[in-house]
């Protein structure tokens, strides 16, 4: 039996904190979606692989994202990916090895939920492949404009916001109300983009060492910080719309926590620059404050 919670903990600190707050069946769907997106991201980020190998791995991965998945092919691909060591991150290598089990676990979802997860995972993997093709032979990627940066953020994170919205509306029909669903969909892309921009700003130096330059040379860093602020304000509205719309508490917790962490991290980045990290004690304090707010029936987040 695959240990999905263990894989989650070994591949993401933030999502290992937030996904368990979701109620079932949404928790399983989002867990599997995250792991599929993480697989695609591992190939897109494979600094030690040249462009053709990254693109080929994404093509093979895309070939698996159909219903039902070909588990035999997944076993062969997973073994080859691990042997090729696209990363030295042990958690990601463990996930590559577990590819067949992750795909098999999709059978635990309803057909409609599974279709949502697979459709958006294919969209992201296809978009990542497009950016890999734009890199040089060594796989180094340089985004030239702010439009490029936003396009990249959409592929790797904006689509995630759209997928989450589809799952939330699917699993909590009250969110399909005319006063709720359109407001969520209008902010879904910004929800993902804001979180991704904070990650890009935080990891800019490490990414540059690996041959990835996401911050465009023609764009002042202050403009990217301002865009991230604007997106996080929309993300806050997204969370509050869920809360006002009667979403299960777990939906609110799951979405509010990364926004809280991103806003705090952005403050650190403006003050200290790339690489600034939030102490774990502060993370836990923010989690406690979120719980207090929700226990008291207060808004999960303060409006920007």
Instruction: Provide the pLDDT confidence category of residue 141 given band limits of 50, 70 and 90.
Output: confident
pLDDT of residue 50: 92
Cβ-in-10-Å burial (0-12, 13-18, 19+) of 226 comes to: exposed
Write the DSSP string, 7-75: HHHHH-HHHHHHGGGSPTTHHHHHHHHHHHHHHHHHHHT-TTS-HHHHHHHHHHHHHH-SSS--HHHHH
- pTM for the structure as a whole: 0.95
Where does 1-139 sit in CATH, by number? 1.10.600.10
Q: 259 pLDDT exceeds 90?
A: yes
pLDDT at 69: 87
pLDDT at 128: 97
pLDDT at residue 206 above 90?
Answer: no
Residues 6+ apart with CB under 8 A from 165: 181, 184, 185, 188
Using a pLDDT cut of 90, give the percent of the chain over it: 83
Structure tokens at 226: 């301002």
Q: What pLDDT was estimated at residue 25?
A: 97
Predicted local distance difference test score (pLDDT) of residue 200 = 93
C-alpha span between 192 and 198 (Å, rounded): 10
Report the share of the chain in percent with pLDDT over 70.
100
Can 1-139 and 141-304 be said to share one CATH topology? yes
Q: Domain locations in the chain?
A: 1-139, 141-304
Share the mean pLDDT of the chain: 94
State which fold the 141-304 domain adopts.
Answer: Farnesyl Diphosphate Synthase (1.10.600)
| Winning range, highest mean pLDDT, from 29-43, 133-147, 216-230, 266-280 | 29-43
Query: pLDDT of 77-136, one tens digit each?
Result: 999 999 999 999 999 999 999 999 999 999 999 999 999 999 999 999 999 999 999 988
pLDDT at 20: 95
């Amino acid at each position: 039996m695959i240990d999905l919670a263990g894989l989650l903990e070994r591949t993401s600190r933030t999502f290992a904190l937030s996904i368990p707050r979701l109620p079932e069946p949404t928790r399983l769907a989002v867990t599997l979606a995250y792991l599929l997106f993480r697989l695609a991201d591992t190939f897109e980020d494979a600094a030690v692989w040249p462009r053709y190998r990254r693109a080929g791995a994404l093509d093979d991965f895309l070939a698996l994202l159909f219903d039902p998945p070909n588990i035999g092919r997944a076993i062969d691909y997973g073994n080859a990916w691990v042997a090729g060591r696209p990363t030295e991150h042990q958690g990601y290598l463990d996930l590559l090895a577990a590819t067949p089990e992750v795909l098999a676990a999709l059978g635990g979802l309803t057909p409609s939920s599974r279709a949502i997860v697979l459709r958006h995972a294919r969209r992201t993997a296809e978009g990542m492949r497009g950016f890999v093709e734009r890199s040089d032979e060594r796989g180094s990627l340089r985004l030239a404009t702010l439009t490029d940066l936003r396009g990249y953020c959409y592929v790797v994170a904006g689509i995630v916001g759209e997928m989450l919205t589809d799952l939330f509306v699917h699993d909590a029909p009250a969110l399909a109300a005319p006063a709720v669903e359109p407001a969520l969909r209008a902010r879904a892309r910004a929800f993902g983009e804001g979180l991704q921009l904070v990650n890009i700003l935080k990891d800019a130096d490490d990414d540059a060492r690996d041959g990835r330059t996401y911050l465009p040379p023609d764009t002042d860093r202050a403009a990217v910080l301002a865009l991230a602020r604007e997106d996080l304000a929309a993300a806050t509205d997204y969370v509050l719309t869920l809360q006002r719309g009667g979403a299960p508490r777990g939906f609110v917790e799951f979405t509010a926590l990364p926004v809280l962490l991103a806003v705090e991290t952005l403050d650190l980045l403006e003050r200290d620059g790339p690489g600034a990290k939030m102490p774990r004690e502060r993370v836990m304090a923010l989690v406690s404050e979120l719980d207090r707010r929700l226990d008291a029936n207060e808004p999960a987040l303060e409006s920007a």
